[in-house]
Amino acid sequence: MIETYHFQDTDFQQESSRELTLLSIISQSYFQPFSLEDNILLILTALTSGSGVGFNRVMYFRRDGNRLRGEVWLGPRSPEEARSVWEVLSTPGIGYVEIVEHNRALLSVNEDSLTRRIRKLTFPASGDPCPLPGAAACHREIVLVKDAAHEPQVDARFLEMIGVDEFLCLPLLARDEVLGVFVLDNAFTHNPIQTRDVKLAAICGLLAANYIHTTNLYRRLVETEKMAAMGEVAMFITHQIRNPLVTIGGFTDQLLEEGCDQDKQRRNLRIIRNEVRRLEDIVYNVGHFLKVSLKEPVYSDVRTALEAAVRIGEAEARARGITFQVKMEKDPPLVFCDPATLGEVARNLIDNALEATPAGGKVTLHAHRGRDSRSFMLSVHDTGQGISEAHKEKLFQPFFTTKEQGMGLGLSFIKRVMDTCGGQVEVRSREAQGAHFLLSFPSREERSPS
Ligand SMILES: Nc1ncnc2c1ncn2[C@@H]1O[C@H](COP(=O)(O)OP(=O)(O)OP(=O)(O)O)[C@@H](O)[C@H]1O
Ligand SMILES: [Mg+2]
């Protein structure tokens, strides 16, 4: 017999132990598509949920350079509010979405009081002397403060703000970094903080810190990748515009030379005009690629758009001496794609096929229902030079091109379109044996939207 379980149980089991509930909320928050801030809020909620068993309030100090900055103070402002919060959190079937919404609402109310007050607080996160709660970060240790009013290590401003005698300072440690400090207390129930509370909070702190650490690393990686991509774009554009610019410069110099006859002047001006057009094309294509945000896909009749793309292809094929064969269903289903966008997709595929195929070759376009009744296939097949294995991997990357005048934007545009409408692209090709691009779009039969 086999039993399977989900990692992501969205409801919290009321009968689970407090420890399990806490760890479950924290570990499952990693799967949620919420922002770092929302997920931290979830973790803070986990630490403060449950009447009489969780901590009543939690402060989060974020590490910012050499200092700790007050970021969030989560918790009720009065025993009545505490009771209502605990009631919400112990509602059977409550899930993450409700908790996040509830916390956002609580924070906006508290913005005037709790959180706004601690946002003014900063403490050194290293060095000596280091008053509490900063000392937890400086010495990387968990500090339980009892009888705070008589403890000289506690910062006086902080003591006045927190207004309790007992609290726990928990450094957020990830590898060798301290990312912040949680300060927890039981301001309303006045339950003494027990050793088991400290141990449980310590595990939560470690999980939270490592989550923050991973998220920070991920954000940095995304930034680095963006910078690298921008660098590549810049290099590509530089490379593309260099030749036309050099040509324009050279032929303009000749025009300025004395004794340049009229024929030569006209020839040079024609060359210059062609190069300027080439530059205009480059600027248009890059601008189009960077700016174009795709239209929302809707189930559409794509016949007219496809026929227009085919007509242009036929003229181009004739001019190149290539046979262009088209097999299109007369009554295609509604296709989940903006029609003009689908027309552009078809044009890019046809252009590529014609550019790859020598005179005397053949290009075939098929547009028909897929085997199931929910897809529409657009395929373009050619008898051209084919695609090597090494190139196959790069085909859909922006700016990948093997053509002297190519921009390498056609297939990356197609990929974006297919991702947006939830379709798929398949490429079948062997070097010197032609290429076959197969696109599958979601589709449906009804003529009027239901
Ligand atoms: N049918 C095909 N046969 C062989 N190679 C192809 C075919 N289609 C695409 N390729 C390869 O993929 C590369 C990228 O194609 P893509 O359409 O993205 O850019 P491009 O055609 O080079 O430039 P453009 O931006 O003008 O379309 C091409 O340069 C070519 O090497
Ligand atoms: Mg192309």
Model confidence pLDDT, tens digit, residues 285-333 = 777 776 566 788 899 999 999 999 999 999 999 999 999 999 999 889 9
Q: Say if ligand 1 is within 6 A of residue 49 CB.
A: no
From 401, 415, 428, give the residue whose CB has the most ligand 1 atoms within 8 Å, as the site to mutate. 401
The band of 34, judged by pLDDT with boundaries at 50, 70 and 90, is low
pLDDT-above-90 percentage for the chain: 46
At 142-175, the pLDDT tens digits run 999 999 999 999 999 999 999 999 999 999 999 8
Q: Say if ligand 1 is within 6 A of residue 384 CB.
A: yes
Which ligand has the nearest atom to the CA of 385? 1
Q: Does 38 score more than 90 pLDDT?
A: no
Question: In the CATH hierarchy, which fold is given to the domain comprising 299-444?
Answer: Heat Shock Protein 90 (3.30.565)
What are the extents of the domains in the chain?
A: 18-220, 226-291, 299-444
Q: Say if ligand 1 is within 6 A of residue 430 CB.
A: no
CATH number belonging to domain 226-291: 1.10.287.130
Q: Say if ligand 1 is within 6 A of residue 379 CB.
A: no
pLDDT-above-70 percentage for the chain: 85
The band of 10, judged by pLDDT with boundaries at 50, 70 and 90, is low
Which ligand has the nearest atom to the CA of 398? 1
338 alpha carbon – ligand 1 mean position (Å):
23
Which ligand has the nearest atom to the CA of 396? 1
Please say whether the dihedral angle defined by the alpha carbons of residues 118, 123, 129 and 130, taken in this order, is positive or negative: positive
In the predicted model, what is the mean pLDDT of residues 427-437?
91
Question: In the CATH hierarchy, which fold is given to the domain comprising 18-220?
Answer: Beta-Lactamase (3.30.450)
Q: Say if ligand 1 is within 6 A of residue 401 CB.
A: yes
Q: What is the mean pLDDT of the chain?
A: 85
Q: For ligand 1, atom 5, which residue shows the shortest CA distance?
A: 387
In the predicted model, what is the mean pLDDT of residues 167-187?
93
In the predicted model, what is the mean pLDDT of residues 395-421?
88
pLDDT for res 450: 43
pLDDT for res 406: 85
Q: Does 25 score more than 50 pLDDT?
A: yes
pLDDT for res 42: 75
Q: Does 449 score more than 50 pLDDT?
A: no
From 344, 350, 352, give the residue whose CB has the most ligand 1 atoms within 8 Å, as the site to mutate. 352
- Would you state the structure tokens that stand for residue 287, as one six-digit string? 């601008």
pLDDT for res 82: 66
Q: For ligand 1, atom 7, which residue shows the shortest CA distance?
A: 352
Q: Does 112 score more than 60 pLDDT?
A: no
